[in-house]
Amino acid sequence: MAGNSGADFDLFRLSDEHEMLREAVRSLAEAKIAPFAAEVDEHGRFPQEALDALQANDLHAVHVPTEYGGEGADALATVLVIEEVARVCASSSLIPAVNKLGSLPVQLSGSEELKQKYLGALARGEGMFSYCLSEPDAGSDAAGMKTRAERDGDFWVLNGVKRWITNAGVSEFYTVMAVTDPEKRSKGISAFVVEKGDEGVSFGAPEKKLGIKGSPTREVYLDNVRIPADRIIGAEGTGFATAMKTLDHTRITIAAQALGIAQGALDYAKGYVKERKQFGKAIAEFQGVQFMLADMAMKLEAARQLTYAAAAKSQRLDGDLTFFGAAAKCFASDVAMEITTDAVQLLGGYGYTRDYPVERMMRDAKITQIYEGTNQVQRIVMARNLP
């Protein structure tokens, strides 16, 4: 798998290995995922074809280290996979993205036994991994969560509600943050692995969303869920720190998703303006249209370079990763919203209809400004971690 040596690359040129990976994922995405994207969105159904194709090609969780049966791909390779899938279907790109989000706490802080069991199962395609941090009254203020975990001999008993959980109900495994010592606020939060089949786990109805309709977003209910004590991730009280460390890395995957959505919209708009004729010539020949396309391409490339640089820092565990992860996510998602909106504008009335994919891309792009920390929160993170 591309990038086993770590993200030591020229910012202006990907390594041959990374380029080969991009081409392979693009071919797979166009052949096996793109044909279903519109229907997945229209009916709000899980993109099973995408999961099957990604698992068959070991692309569903490329970040899992080789010692646990994974591909051992570096952070940039993971970005490329997500970017290329998002270019044709944002909902499908949440399969590799959320598999990393959900499992990275185990990879960063879990015991060797947890890593062998759960990272191995993920790598083998035995189930997807989701991440349970947010709650009905704890969104941006995640430390204000109310879900509790209480020790009972050789078990932990979990009670609470998690909201906005991506791929909930489809994933087999869940990293759940819960309060183990309410007196300590963030330092009293611990992380656990919960399985879909654990008694007391249930799910709410799928949310009716603006975009990414193929990726189910549901509440997760924990009603006296009794799990073995060894399913705690790291030491008691370290869950919030693990959650924040995870987001430093995975915000870059949201930036990658934003890049892919924006690239898909730009590609479609470029093709359309060459074919669409008004006043006797292709609208691509009008300077106003050319300026729009130039701005779209310029901003997309700036976002891409920032995202790839952040991926390199994620791989090297650089000290300024927190700033770069937030910056990449914030900038790339703002750019994606702008580019997809402009793509709709370039198609005119056609862009506003479901007969063309850019309106879907515009709807899908919006969530990249919101999840894994709103862009207002990203700006707070950046201000506190200026390099």
Please report where in the chains the tokens 């997500």 appear, as a residue. 82
Q: State the Cα–Cα distance between residues 132 and 186, nearest whole angstrom.
A: 15
Strand boundaries in the chain, DSSP class E:
129-132, 148-152, 155-166, 173-179, 189-195, 201-203, 217-228, 232-233, 277-278, 281-282
Residues 6+ apart with CB under 8 A from 66: 4, 72
Q: How far apart are the first and last CA of the chain?
A: 32
Using DSSP bridges, classify how beta strands 173-179 and 129-132 pair: parallel, antiparallel or unpaired: parallel
Q: How far is CA 215 from CA 86, 163, 361, in A?
A: 12, 14, 14
Is-contact 7 312, C-beta < 8 A? yes
Q: State the Cα–Cα distance between residues 325 and 291, nearest whole angstrom.
A: 30
Q: State the Cα–Cα distance between residues 241 and 10, nearest whole angstrom.
A: 32
Residues 6+ apart with CB under 8 A from 184: 237
Please give the single-letter amino acid code of residue 60. Answer: H
- Looking at 71, 83, 84, 372, which residue is catalytic? 372
Q: Which of 168, 169, 147, 151 is nearest to 159 (CA)?
A: 147
Q: State the Cα–Cα distance between residues 216 and 203, nearest whole angstrom.
A: 11
Q: Is 338 a catalytic residue?
A: no
Q: State the Cα–Cα distance between residues 344 and 266, nearest whole angstrom.
A: 10
> In the structure encoding, which two tokens stand for residue 254, read together?
């949201």
> In the structure encoding, which two tokens stand for residue 88, read together?
């044709």
Q: State the Cα–Cα distance between residues 73 and 62, nearest whole angstrom.
A: 5
List active site positions: 372
